[in-house]
Structure 1
Amino acid sequence: MKIRKFHMQYFLRTSTILLLIILTACNQQPKSKKTPTTTPVKDSIAQAKERAANLAKEEQEEEKPFVLTEENAIPFFFEYQKTHKQSKVKVYTSMGDFVIDLYDNTPYHRANMIYLSSKKYFNNTFFHRVVKDFIIQGGNTDLKMTAEKRDSIGFYLLPPDTRKGHKHVRGTVSMPSSDDVTNPHKLASPYEFFIVTTKTGAPHLNGKFTAFGMVTSGMDVVDKINHVETGSDEWPLTNVIIDSIVVID
């Protein structure tokens, strides 16, 4: 009888211990499920990578250079002319210097000349067309670097502004445009300009091209350029170089 009682007590104690172990294990298992450690780390790394990618994209967009186009040129110059009121430039050439006063009431063409001069576009361009006793035309070359500068600034045209009362008298600075079916509205080429040298002016150009300035000093230099020897294509046999055009006022 005593032996049977001992076995019963031993059995009860053993059962109690096993039950406690099972309950403890059951209580511990959910805790491990409630405290994951790997997922937040993965999420943090993914979020950091995403933030870095977004930052790199923003920096790349900020560094992308501004380029003028047919769509943005007019809005750009509309704002540019408000804050850039300069109206006088000095043209330095291989044959001497002269000064151009720009008209305030042709704002897009004035702003265009100020902008391109500030961007140093005209540096090392030529007076590439000379017609004796008529005009000299500058702003182009046959050099690769000129084409590259145009590419970096952008491709755009300017609308004519011919109703401001400016005539093509001697010394007038005007902007050329192509005269063909591909340009019915005579949009102007912004990278070039011409200067009238005829003593009686060129009234047949009125209303066709935008006069946007006047040579006010150094017309003798313009005349000297107008008398250089040219080939049959009206290109001077010896290049007349525009060293720079500098905004002075």
Structure 2
Amino acid sequence: MKRLFTICCLLAVTITSFAKPPKNQYVRVKTSYGDCIIRLYNETPLHRDNFIKLTKKGFYNGTLFHRVIQNFMIQGGDPDSKDTTKTKPGAELGNGDVGYTVPAEFRDSIFHKRGVLAAARDDNPKKASSGCQFYIVEGKRITDARMDSLENGRLKGYKIPAWQREFYKTVGGTPQLDHGYTVYGEVVTGIDMVDHIAAVKKDARDRPIENVPMMVELLKKKECKQLDKLLGLAKK
């Protein structure tokens, strides 16, 4: 009996350890220009959970990256971009939504560095995010002079921390968007996909001449745990 009890305890511990969820959720964005994997931030739970909900529904599958600006960002997630009458070259996209917004979730430790996932939005006083549209930052390296100018202008009242300045100078990003648009994830592999899409030929509305559809899927728990471990996030 004692041996049976010990075996049962070991099985219970094993099952519990396997059932324990990963620290972070990751998603894969697939395009004809390659794939990227994005870690969703736990620090922005409203945006994280909303993106997970839409991804589970397959909402993003077949939507387009409808607005791309090299050295800035690539934007997608407009449900109208699934409409065949609007996917013809030259048709305007970017006004589609899901009928709700997500409250802004600004965090001082999260900023618009190269490779982050952030929520698009219309012009509203609360800076609430679109319920579905997003962008991924390609960005470029930013000088101290440019950041000084932003602090005296667009970012008036907000000082870019020294460590973030260093990142902007060496890796790049879009600091002009900080505390204006919610950042809620970052590319951990496949940033070259963003670079390739940002460089495609586009029309006067910054829409790619040739459609760039996407598929978005949630990574399974095992894959998420492996990435947590690889990125040193498993114990955080």
TM interval, short-chain normalised: 0.5 to 0.7
**Which runs of structure 1 show a deviation greater than 4 angstroms over 4 or more consecutive aligned residues?**
83-86
Distance 1:146 1:97 in 2: 27
Higher RCO (CA-CA < 8 Å; seq separation 6+)? 2
Distance 1:144 1:85 in 2: 37
Distance 1:161 1:146 in 2: 35
Distance 1:126 1:154 in 2: 16
Distance 2:118 2:70 in 1: 17
CA contact (8 A) 2:73 2:135 kept: yes
State the shift of 1:167 in Å. Answer: 0.6
Cα deviation digits, residues 136-192 of structure 1 (max 9, x gap) = 001124443899xxxxx952100100125201000011001112xxx2111110211
Cα deviation digits, residues 111-132 of structure 1 (max 9, x gap) = 0111100000001000000011
Distance 2:24 2:112 in 1: 22
Which amino acid is 2:125 matched to? P
Distance 2:98 2:208 in 1: 28
> Residues 231, 176 of structure 1: CA spacing in aligned structure 2 closer, same or farther, 3 A cutoff?
same
CA contact (8 A) 1:100 1:213 kept: yes
TM-score, with structure 1 as normaliser: 0.59
SS class of match (2:37): strand
> Residues 103, 146 of structure 1: CA spacing in aligned structure 2 closer, same or farther, 3 A cutoff?
farther
Which amino acid is 2:49 matched to? A
Distance 1:196 1:129 in 2: 12
Pairing partner for 1:225 from 152, 172, 197: 197
Corresponding residue for residue 104 of structure 2: 160
Corresponding residue for residue 214 of structure 1: 186
Q: Which runs of 5 or more residues in structure 1 are unaligned?
A: 1-82, 148-152
Query: What does 1:115-126 align with in structure 2 at a 5 Å threshold?
Result: 115-126=53-64
Cα deviation digits, residues 79-111 of structure 1 (max 9, x gap) = xxxx99751000111221110001011001000
Instruction: Point out the structure with the larger helix share.
Output: 1
Pairing partner for 1:114 from 52, 71, 92: 52
> Residues 154, 198 of structure 1: CA spacing in aligned structure 2 closer, same or farther, 3 A cutoff?
closer
Distance 2:135 2:75 in 1: 4
**Which structure has the larger Rg over C-alpha atoms?**
1
Distance 1:145 1:186 in 2: 31
Number of equivalences: 158
Corresponding residue for residue 211 of structure 2: 239
SS class of match (2:48): helix
Q: Which runs of 5 or more residues in structure 2 are unaligned?
A: 1-20, 87-96, 141-171, 225-236
CA contact (8 A) 1:130 1:234 kept: yes
> Residues 189, 109 of structure 1: CA spacing in aligned structure 2 closer, same or farther, 3 A cutoff?
same
TM-score, with structure 2 as normaliser: 0.62
Cα deviation digits, residues 11-38 of structure 1 (max 9, x gap) = xxxxxxxxxxxxxxxxxxxxxxxxxxxx
